Structure 1
Amino acid sequence: HSGNVWARARISAPVPAPTQRICAFGGSSESTVRVSKCGDGNGNLATAVAALRLVTADVEQVEISHERDGEQFQGAVVGLGGLGVVTQLTLDVVPAFEVRQDVYLNLPVAQLEAHFEEIVGSAYSVSLFTDWQNERVNQVWVKRRSAGGDSGETAPALFEATPAPRQIHPIASLPAEPCTAQLGVPGPWYDRLPHFRIDELPSSGAELQTEYFVPRQHAVAALRAVTALHEQIAPLLMISEVRTIAADNLWMSPCYQQACVAIHFTWKLNWEGVRQLLPEIEAQLAPFDARPHWGKLFTMAPARLHSLYQKLPDFQRLLTSYDPQGKFRNPFLDTSLFGA
Structure 2
Amino acid sequence: MKKLTILGILVLFVLVSTCVVMADDYEWQPKKPINLIVPWGAGGSTDRSARVTADIVSDALGVEIIVVNQGGSSGAVGTNNALQAPKDGLTWTAGAVKDLGLYKAQGLLNTTLDDWHIYTNVAMPSVISVSVDSPYEDFGDLLQAFKDNPGKIKVATAGINSAGGTAIAQIKNYTGIKYNHVTYDGGNPAVVSVVSGESDVVPQLSVEQVDMINAGRLRPLAVLSDEPLKIAGYDEPVPSIKKWIPEFVSAPIYFGLFVPKGVPEEVTYTLNTIWENVVMKSEKLEDWAAENAVVYDPVYGAKAVAKSFPMIQLDAYLKYEAGDLIINPVKLGIPRP
TM-score interval, smaller chain: under 0.3
Higher strand fraction (1 or 2): 1
Which structure has more helix as a fraction of its residues? Answer: 2
Give the TM-score taking structure 1 as reference length.
0.26
Instruction: Report the TM-score, using the length of structure 2 for normalisation.
Output: 0.27
- Asked which structure has the greater RCO (Cα within 8 Å, sep 6+), the reply is 2
Larger radius of gyration: 2
